[in-house]
Amino acid sequence: MSRIGIIGAGSIGSAFALLFADAGYRVRVYDPDLSAAARSQETISNRASQLAQYGLLRSDHERISRLIDYVPTVAEAVNEALLVQESGPEDVVQKRQIFADLTAATSPHTILASSSSSIPTSRFVPETSAERALIAHPGNPPYLLRIIEIVGNPATSEEVLSRAESIYAKADLTPVRIRQEIEGFVFNRLQGAVLREAYALVSEGTVDPDGLDTLVRDGLGLRWAVLGPFATSDLNVRGGIRAHAKRMGDAYQRMASGRGPSEAWTEAMIDEVEAARRREVPLSSWDDAVADRDLELMKLLNSRQPNLRKEDR
């Protein structure tokens, strides 16, 4: 069997359908909202042609469409699936119901994965299927940020985790193992650390929101798109990361100490950033701004790996 089941045909579920079909898997998608299928098909069709333009598709649009079926029941979606990717609402009560249904409808060999960004599987999987349940949290959008956080619960078997990782790797997502069910996992904890310092800097009047975003986009973020933070520090000081820690460690500790551990995001600081963002992007242009972001990401990916995708074919 080389079939994947997707529960939920929203933007994340549709993205997974596209990624798995592009890797050659047969995909069955279930959504309780019957009108979701048409929207999902259109999304996948648009995305697939954009990705193809930038050399980021291994297969082609027609083949992808042929591999994806929308089905009217959970049972049909998950029957004989290697892996089920649950991409429903971020709500623990709904996930409990969905995972009870999935446990009943699947064989013990089917991996049960959830796209949740914040709720660990311990909080919603039945004991009987905990061994084959895990979080597989993608970036947004998943077909452009080609990483996925793999988080087991204490009962998840190593065999299931590594089998899941090899399935995601086939769909061109680099799996990163997260070894504790920590809130925010790693991706969102790092994002939270930046936002916390960013809000504090704006709030105290050190920099305005646009200036801060510019420093990241054309500076820190550009470099982090080439090297992660440890690799960046390693190459910033001759002698590597140990020399970096010796030179910079005390200063970074002082900077961290200056921030209280638990300041809430205040209304005033959100107001200031919101006003700056609306000057840049009125809410009426929000969808266009998202589309522009994705085009820029496609250009970067295209430039970064000029030959990789073709070799993959």
Task: List binders of a copy of itself among 16-45 (CB under 8 A).
Answer: none
255 binds a copy of itself (CB under 8 A): yes
Helices (H) and strands (E) in the chain, counts: 14, 8
Pick between residue 80 and residue 234 the one whose CB is nearest to a copy of itself.
Answer: 234
Pick between residue 46 and residue 214 the one whose CB is nearest to a copy of itself.
Answer: 214
**Among residue numbers 194 through 253, which ones bind a copy of itself (CB under 8 A)?**
194-198, 201, 204-209, 211-236, 238-242, 245, 248-249, 251-253
Shortest reach from residue 212's CB to a copy of itself, in Å: 6
Please give the Cα distance from 24 to 285 (Å, whole number).
36
Contact residue for a copy of itself among 93, 127, 158, 283 (CB under 8 A): 283
**Among residue numbers 40 through 79, which ones bind a copy of itself (CB under 8 A)?**
none
Shortest reach from residue 111's CB to a copy of itself, in Å: 20
**Of 3, 8, 6, the residue nearest 26 (C-alpha):** 3
Pick between residue 109 and residue 259 the one whose CB is nearest to a copy of itself.
Answer: 259
* 209: preceding bond cis by omega (within 30 degrees): no
**Among residue numbers 162 through 201, which ones bind a copy of itself (CB under 8 A)?**
174, 176-180, 182-184, 186-198, 201
Please give the Cα distance from 39 to 9 (Å, whole number).
8
Q: How far is CA 60 from CA 3, 48, 183, 224, in A?
A: 19, 8, 38, 31
C-alpha angle with apex 217: 45 to 297, nearest 5 degrees?
15
Shortest reach from residue 309's CB to a copy of itself, in Å: 14
Shortest reach from residue 113's CB to a copy of itself, in Å: 17
Pick between residue 98 and residue 202 the one whose CB is nearest to a copy of itself.
Answer: 202
* Contact between 237 and 247 (Cβ < 8 Å): yes
Amino acid (one-letter) located at 171:
A
280 binds a copy of itself (CB under 8 A): yes
Greatest Cα pair distance in the chain: 61
Question: Measured between alpha carbons, how far apart are the two ends of the chain, in Å?
Answer: 22
Residues in the chain: 313
Contact residue for a copy of itself among 23, 48, 113, 144 (CB under 8 A): 144
Pick between residue 62 and residue 204 the one whose CB is nearest to a copy of itself.
Answer: 204
C-alpha angle with apex 172: 234 to 37, nearest 5 degrees?
135
Pick between residue 104 and residue 225 the one whose CB is nearest to a copy of itself.
Answer: 225
Pick between residue 60 and residue 265 the one whose CB is nearest to a copy of itself.
Answer: 265
**Among residue numbers 90 through 119, which ones bind a copy of itself (CB under 8 A)?**
118
Pick between residue 93 and residue 251 the one whose CB is nearest to a copy of itself.
Answer: 251
154 binds a copy of itself (CB under 8 A): no
Please give the Cα distance from 202 to 204 (Å, whole number).
6
Shortest reach from residue 173's CB to a copy of itself, in Å: 9
Structure tokens, 223: 């470099």
Pick between residue 75 and residue 190 the one whose CB is nearest to a copy of itself.
Answer: 190
Shortest reach from residue 37's CB to a copy of itself, in Å: 21
Instruction: Compute how many other C-beta atoms are within 10 angstroms of the C-beta atom of residue 150.
Output: 22
Residue 8, φ and ψ in degrees, nearest 5:
105, 120
Shortest reach from residue 150's CB to a copy of itself, in Å: 10
Please give the Cα distance from 235 to 228 (Å, whole number).
11
DSSP 3-state assignment of 53?
A: helix
